[in-house]
């Protein structure tokens, strides 16, 4: 069966309603509606290429011919095979199910990653021939090629040191590529850290991300936390503590803030809480990382409060997350269970109206990277006691976390940027310009943060003073404008 034929079999389901939308024949739709689909947002490179618009048109904003070629490339390279339909259709991406290709299975055999039958057993060999082959299942996240939803997400890439060279990216297709790449890298970083379960990242090919499919058997995806059938209240609290401990691990060990954490972006798989959807996650150095962290905590609390369990003040969870050391903690800082044990024993639950009022204040706080940059208006909002709280939240921890920060990633955490892509991928020239940009991303961390944004108040003052003086000096020798004009006139008339 040809690749296109396989896609004709795609069964697209609307995730929001969890209903089957029936058979979906992508290619036929593509033929029929290609000319009607608005592709303006894809025409940024006007003049550069003269491609048929219909050729760029998108079915479901996902499976445009280009994306199909990337999928084909992944298939011919033996990374994936057999597409079985859509797991989820969302705003920015659709997620499909596929099986691992022959190459992946070969790799598995070589590395012995999975338990394989004993080679000397005749019985086993016979069984192997008869039994249907066990193949890995993959989730394929395909980012939509419509830029509209990504526009307001630029702020997650802006301010990211790793993506500094790809900032202000105006080519929408490149922007999406960066976005997918960001998710892949974040996923890989978390996966390699081994402290928080995430789907294993397999491959990235432009806007197509291949990862492990978290399933509960028979092709069904494991439930998101939102759909998880809790046994009892204890289990709800268990996952609440698990979530809080993971937020800390993500921050302290993986050096990331999820930035879209919720019951929708977490999956319960084999009894464990998995983080997914990490495309927007940022490093703590991102200027807005603390705001994102605060937002994550708020969302998590909202959900668990709705589930009817006692929750902790957002302020305390925040503090728990960013404090490098925890008082009275004698466990392993990388161990989820140790942290989960600590939480209910050391964080006091939110009870009174006063607690809620404190959280309100906390939510409205202008969070800054260090105390020197704290605006006066925020100081004014605090009584003396509350100011101490703020100081302990920001000054102490941020001194450590942001000022004299050394790269914390252990070597194993990081990426080998082996990109096997070559011409055999079946890409045409128009993709090669994008491949060149592969070097745009760098996970190396800044040792000293440079630029006006990061300098402290005194430095800023000194810089401004210097500039002022330089200008004053210049003014002394400057020829007045009207004199200059007169001189110019004279010269002209002499000519």
Ligand X SMILES: Nc1ncnc2c1ncn2[C@@H]1O[C@H](COP(=O)(O)OP(=O)(O)OP(=O)(O)O)[C@@H](O)[C@H]1O
Question: Would you tell me which residues interact with ligand X (CB under 6 A)?
Answer: 87-88, 90-93, 95, 139, 141, 199, 211-214, 221, 224, 264-265, 276-277
Looking at residues 260 to 299 of the shown chain, list those that interact with Mg ion (rule: CB under 5 A): 265, 277
Identify which of residues 63 and 340 has a Cβ nearer to ligand X in the complex: 63
Options 64, 277, 296, 359, the catalytic residue = 277
**Which one, 96 or 312, has the nearer CB to Mg ion?**
96
Residue 141 site contact among ligand X, Mg ion, none (CB < 5 to 8 Å, cut-off depends on kind): ligand X
Contact string 227-266 vs Mg ion (x = CB under 5 A): --------------------------------------x-
Strands 93-100 and 137-143: antiparallel
- DSSP string for 149-214: HHHTTHHHHTT-GGGGGGTT---HHHHHHHHHHHHHHHHHHHHHH-SS--PPEEEEETTEEEEE--
Set 260, 296, 359, 443: catalytic member = 260
- Taking the complex as a whole, the smallest distance from the CB of residue 151 to ligand X amounts, in Å, to 14
CA nearest 26: which of 57, 59, 55?
59
The pair of structure tokens assigned to 424 is 């055999």
Q: Determine the residue with CB nearest Mg ion.
A: 277
| Distance in angstroms (rounded) separating the CA atoms of residues 250 and 193 | 9
- 261 annotated as belonging to a binding site for a ligand: no
Which residue, 303 or 320, has its beta carbon nearer to ligand X?
303
141 is an annotated ligand-binding site residue:
yes
Q: Is 64 a catalytic residue?
A: no
Specify the 3-state DSSP secondary structure of 365. coil
Between 265 and 283, CB nearer to Mg ion:
265
**Residue 87: contacted member of ligand X, Mg ion, none (CB under 5 to 8 Å, by partner type):** ligand X
- SS3 for 235? helix
**What whole-number distance in Å separates Cα of residue 212 and Cα of residue 138?**
5
Rounded least distance, CB 183 to ligand X, Å: 8
Rounded to an integer, what is the distance from CA 311 to the centroid of its chain?
26
277 is in an annotated binding site: yes
Closest by Cα among 337, 334, 290 to 314:
290
Judge whether 378 is annotated as a binding position.
no
With contact defined as beta carbons under 8 Å apart, do 249 and 196 qualify? yes
Whether 152 is catalytic is no
**Tokens of residue 42, six digits:** 């894809």
Name the one residue in this structure whose structure tokens are 């060149």: 436
Numbered residues of the known binding site for ATP: 141, 214
The catalytic residues are 260, 277
Annotated binding site for Mg(2+): 265, 277
Which residues contact Mg ion by CB under 5 A? 265, 277
């Amino acid at each position: 069966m040809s690749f296109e034929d396989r896609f004709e079999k795609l069964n697209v389901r609307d995730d929001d309603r969890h209903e089957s939308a029936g058979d979906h024949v992508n290619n036929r739709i593509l033929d029929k509606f290609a000319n009607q689909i608005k592709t303006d947002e894809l025409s940024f490179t006007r003049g550069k290429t003269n491609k048929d618009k219909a050729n760029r048109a998108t079915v479901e904003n996902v499976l445009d011919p280009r994306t199909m070629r990337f999928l084909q490339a992944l298939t011919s390279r033996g990374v994936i095979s057999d597409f079985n339909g859509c797991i989820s259709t969302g705003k920015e991406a659709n997620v499909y199910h596929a099986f691992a290709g022959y190459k992946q299975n070969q790799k598995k055999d070589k590395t012995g990653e999975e338990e394989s039958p004993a080679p000397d057993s005749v019985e086993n060999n016979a069984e192997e021939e008869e039994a249907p082959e066990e193949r890995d299942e993959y989730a394929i996240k395909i980012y939509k090629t419509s830029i509209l939803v990504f526009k307001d997400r630029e702020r997650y890439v802006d301010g990211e040191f790793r993506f500094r060279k790809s900032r202000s990216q105006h080519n929408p297709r490149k922007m999406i590529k960066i976005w997918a790449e960001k998710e892949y890298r974040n996923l890989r970083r978390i996966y390699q850290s081994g402290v928080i379960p995430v789907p294993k990242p397999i491959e990235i090919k432009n806007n197509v991300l291949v990862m492990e499919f978290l399933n509960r058997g028979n092709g069904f995806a494991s439930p998101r936390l939102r759909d998880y059938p809790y046994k009892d209240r204890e289990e709800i609290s268990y996952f609440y503590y698990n979530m809080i401990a993971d937020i800390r691990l993500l921050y302290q060990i993986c050096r990331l803030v999820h930035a879209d954490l919720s019951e929708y972006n977490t999956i319960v798989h084999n009894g464990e809480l998995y983080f997914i959807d990490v495309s927007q996650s940022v490093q703590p150095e991102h200027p807005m990382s603390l705001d994102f962290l605060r937002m994550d905590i708020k969302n998590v609390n909202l959900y668990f409060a709705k589930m009817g369990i006692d929750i902790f003040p957002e302020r305390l969870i925040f503090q728990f997350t960013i404090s490098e050391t925890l008082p009275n903690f004698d466990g392993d800082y990388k161990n989820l269970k140790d942290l989960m044990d600590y939480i209910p024993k050391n964080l006091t639950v939110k009870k009174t109206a006063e607690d809620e009022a404190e959280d309100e204040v906390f939510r409205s706080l202008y969070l800054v990277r260090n105390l020197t940059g704290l605006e006066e208006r925020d100081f004014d909002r605090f009584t003396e006691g509350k100011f101490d709280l703020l100081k302990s939240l920001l000054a102490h921890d941020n001194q450590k976390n942001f000022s004299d920060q050394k790269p914390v990633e252990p070597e194993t955490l990081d990426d080998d940027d082996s990109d096997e892509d070559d011409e055999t991928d079946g890409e045409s020239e128009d993709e090669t310009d994008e491949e060149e940009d592969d070097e745009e991303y760098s996970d190396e961390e800044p040792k000293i943060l440079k630029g006006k944004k990061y300098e402290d108040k005194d430095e800023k003052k000194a810089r401004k003073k210097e500039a002022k003086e330089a200008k004053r000096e210049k003014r002394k020798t400057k020829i007045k404008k009207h004199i200059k004009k007169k001189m110019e006139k004279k010269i002209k008339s002499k000519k």
